[in-house]
Amino acid sequence: MRSIWNGSISFGLVTIPVKTYSATERTSSVSFVRIHEKDGAPIRYRKICELDGEEVPNEEVGKGYQAPDDETIVEITDEDLARLPMPTAKTMTILAFVGADEIDPLQMDKAYYLGPNGSAAAKPYAVLREALEHQGKVAVGKVAIRGRESLAMLRAHDGAIVMHSLLWPDQIRPATGIGPHGDVKLRDNELTLAETLMDALGEVDPAELHDEYREAVEELVAQKLEGGAPVAPKAPGGRGQVIDLMAALEKSVAAAKGGGGAEREREASVTPIRGRRTATKKTEARTAAAKKAPAKKTAAAKTSSAKSADTSTAKAASKASSKAASKTASKATAKATPKKRTAKKTSA
């Protein structure tokens, strides 16, 4: 591993010569080159002067500074920068020791391994490393690497000292307006289920994690080199939607614990809230219709019974009236007709 910066750590009156090595590797990530789609040839970037339109060679490229609100560009030479005071150019001065939780992860930029530079630096290096590990603290100071001064943090890691360059506080943007507006009401059982899910998921071994996208790109390239048709990857899941939070949490906990049964799966099925409301409204409408149906039938039965009773009454009244009229007519006829007298014969 090649050292990228040699300097020292100033720890009170103790000076520890160190070598700096890059702790991260980005070459394994996916990167593409620009090509001309017409013929597949790579495209080169040329440095063109905006004044005369000619290409500028690298040895004629210098530095310039342009203020944010001004179009004027001021030329800055290496000699100008060399005359500027920069006490941290070769030494990182430790300013304080603080708890690791006092450093906002947003400030962490790039990581470097620090190794002792020479046999004489081995002992003070080990003393600082053991002190950091035993106290559970990190060291904060300032350092300048490649002409840029930044904050830095030292911490013990895997038998070595790691230096993290930190962003300045004014380089961190505020999170104003990012979170949900207003107070979000949460129920205790929702938080309990969320914490249960956190415990059920457990820990992960970082060594088992890998870049699936890079592997997919490499497989795609291999298929194209062999002349085969690229295999379409599986489509990802549907778009995010508002879901029943409690049901989703319950199902997630059951899946994380590796079971739960089919019945629990059905109870904890994730259903869009909008769909649940629609189903509820339909169910309520059906229930209301079912309740109204017997009432309508009963009312119809009562009406039919009443009509039947009225018809029977009317028929009975009609019969009675007919009988009475018949009797009256018979009496009247009898009175109007004279009775025949029978003559008695007289014997001679």
Distances (CA, A) of 217 to 98, 126, 208, 225: 43, 43, 19, 12
Among 26-35, 242-251, 258-267, 300-309, the range with the most confident prediction by mean pLDDT is: 26-35
Selected residue with higher pLDDT from 137 and 294 = 137
pLDDT score, position 208: 83
pLDDT score, position 237: 55
Compute the C-alpha angle 104/110/113, nearest 5°: 110
Token pair for 286: 């059906």
- Output the DSSP codes for 12-74: TTEEEEEEEEE----TTS-----B-TTT--B-----B-TTT--B--GGG--EEEE-TT---EE
Token pair for 220: 């795609």
pLDDT tops 90 at residue 250:
no
pLDDT score, position 30: 77
Would you put residue 277 in left (φ > 0), alpha (ψ -120 to 50) or beta?
Answer: alpha
Would you put residue 76 in left (φ > 0), alpha (ψ -120 to 50) or beta?
Answer: beta
Per residue in 77-106, pLDDT tens? 888 887 887 766 788 989 999 999 999 999
pLDDT tops 50 at residue 328:
no
Q: Classify residue 256 by burial, with Cβ atoms within 10 Å: 0-12, 13-18, 19+.
A: middle
CB atoms within 10 A of CB 234: 6
Per residue in 173-224, pLDDT tens? 999 888 888 888 888 888 888 888 888 887 878 788 878 888 888 888 888 8
Tokens 């009475």 sit on residue: 324
Q: How far apart are CA 91 and CA 93, in angstroms?
A: 6
pLDDT score, position 241: 57
The pLDDT of 149-169, averaged and rounded, is 94
The pLDDT of 132-137, averaged and rounded, is 94
pLDDT score, position 27: 65
**Of all residues in the chain, what percent carry a pLDDT higher than 90?**
31
Compute the C-alpha angle 133/137/143, nearest 5°: 105
Q: What residues contact residue 339 under an 8 Å CB cut-off, 6+ apart?
A: none
Token pair for 235: 């489509």
State the pLDDT confidence band at 135, using cuts at 50, 70 and 90: very high
Distances (CA, A) of 28 to 24, 34, 210, 211, 337: 10, 18, 11, 9, 137
The pLDDT of 326-337, averaged and rounded, is 45
Token pair for 190: 């929702």
Q: What residues contact residue 186 under an 8 Å CB cut-off, 6+ apart?
A: none
Per residue in 289-304, pLDDT tens? 544 444 444 444 444 4
Phi, psi of 259 (to 5 degrees): 170, -150
pLDDT tops 70 at residue 34:
yes
**Of all residues in the chain, what percent carry a pLDDT higher than 70?**
69
Lowest mean pLDDT across 35-49, 126-140, 217-231, 298-312 = 298-312
- Output the DSSP codes for 28-44: TS-----B-TTT--B--
Q: What residues contact residue 348 under an 8 Å CB cut-off, 6+ apart?
A: none
Tell me if the pTM is above 0.85.
no
Token pair for 62: 């210098």
Q: What is the mean pLDDT of the chain?
A: 76
Phi, psi of 197 (to 5 degrees): -65, -40
